[in-house]
Amino acid sequence: MLLADRAGAAQARWWNKGWEARVPITVEFREGLLSKRPVILPWRVIAERLGEAKIRAGSLRLVAGRRLVPFQVDHRNARGDFLPPGNLTLDPEDELVFVCPSDRRTRLHLYLSENPKPPASFPSGVTVVEPRRQRYHRKLVTAGMSIAIQGTGQLDLSANSQANSARATVVELMWKGYKLNPQSQSWGMVLNAHPYPSSETDRWRNVRLLVDGPVRKVVATNCSNSTASDADGQVTWQADVTRYFSMFADVPLYDVEDVAHCSVVPASWTAGYLDQWHAGHGLDEHDLLWEGTSGAIRMFSLAGKNISVERTGDLMDTEQVGDAWYAWFDQKERTGLAVFYGPPQHAGKAASPAGIRFRGGWRWYATHNRISFTYESLEAPVTLRHRFRMIGLDDVSPEEVAGEYRLWKNPDAGTVTIGDPERRRR
């Protein structure tokens, strides 16, 4: 028997009599800036409710009332790494992924069966653009946002150095028709330059669509032997590093997640990330930097920096990061981009940084931003993880951005309730 009968289990209308059991799920978000949000439930929280029940992964259906809701199950290993397709079992580290509206309580049921069922199929909410003879390997598009992802350069040997320099990064970001990364500046990165060394022999390879579901697409690129040495040739750093770039159906955001499994590390190390982009069509006096590192919202204006004369120096610099978010916003065009950053919150143990530093409007150009994670007393083997979320902004307030960050930082700020399993009464 899949599940024991429970009193009152048949009170709500059953979606389909071909399914013997279901688990109630209620999702309720607090106020933020997104009309829809991705929900990522570790399978272990559902498995805890099911006990020893044997579930066929292909039998899962997510239903709101009488309506099927698009979902997918993404597989991770015990270290927290995404796994390629082909795994048909449901493990505690796996994730149930779907999207819910933010302005109401959503009541769903996850239907289950012990009998064979064809896997659910839904149209994709994220468009994948295959590689072309340009400077990116994959492009993801949804909800007015597109990101072009590059592994190692050399896609086009005839192109200039800009097209071939950026490594394992987003080299083009479009939002609401604006191209937010200025190609005239350095490598044109949009979150972000990263601290992991590579070379022509140890390149960022295998840029692939690792997760190809209807709700979440994940593009991954890997440098299996990221290595650094000192002046004497002694290896000081060696790691297998994977960068994951994710997009969710009809939600204007993308996630970047770095996972570095290190076999050689220095005792003290700082991971520095650099991005460069602008809020609208270009840099001007209408651009504002919002940030909440002190726990209170602060605003800095490029108008006060006089960028036409002085392009260097920080707008702000703090080594006491509390709320780890910032955003650039064009107050004339009413568009911008917010960045959230921090350690991960999913399965897989990792070292925690001893300190985080943020510098906004950093160094060469006004909208360079630098994030540094400092580690102390590292000892190999160790896993280092960093995660980022970028959200397109459309006529919003900094308070709304801060509220969305709190939802991202603390999943308990929203409520997902898993009810007791119910078995259909005959």
Q: What's the pLDDT tens digit per position in 234-274?
A: 999 999 999 999 999 999 999 999 999 999 999 999 999 98
Residues 275, 379: one domain? yes
Among candidate residues 31, 137, 141, the one with its CA nearest the CA of residue 405: 31
Q: Are residues 137 and 106 in the same domain?
A: no
What CATH number is associated with residue 168?
Answer: 2.70.98
Domain count, the chain: 2
Give yes or no: residues 109 and 252 share one domain: no
Distances (CA, A) of 72 to 125, 237, 424: 12, 37, 24
Please, are residues 354 and 413 in contact by the beta-carbon 8 Å criterion?
Answer: no
> At 157, is the secondary structure helix, strand, or coil?
coil
Question: Could you tell me the pLDDT band of residue 188, with boundaries at 50, 70 and 90?
Answer: very low
Nearest-5° angle of CA 260, CA 78, CA 28?
A: 95
Q: What share of the chain is helix, strand, coil (3-state, %, to 5)?
A: 10, 40, 50
The reply to whether 220 and 280 lie within a common domain is: yes
pTM: 0.90
* pLDDT of 361 above 80: no
Q: pLDDT tens digit string along 400-413?
A: 999 999 889 886 66
| Lowest mean pLDDT, pick from 141-150, 273-282, 388-397 | 273-282
What would the pLDDT profile of 295-306 be if each residue is shown by its tens digit?
Answer: 889 988 876 666
Q: Please, which residues have CB within 8 angstroms of residue 197's CB and are 6 or more apart in sequence?
A: 226, 227, 228, 237
- Using omega within 30 degrees of 0 as the cis cutoff, is the peptide bond preceding 381 cis? yes
Amino acid 245: pLDDT = 96
DSSP 367-397: TEEEEEEEE-S--SSEEEEEEEEEEEEES--
Residues constituting the chain: 426
Mean pLDDT of 367-374: 86
Range of the domain at 72: 21-122+413-423
What is the share, in percent, of the chain residues with pLDDT greater than 90?
Answer: 52
Taking the C-alpha atoms of residue 384 and residue 261, their distance in angstroms, rounded to an integer, is 7
246 plus 353 within the same structural domain: yes
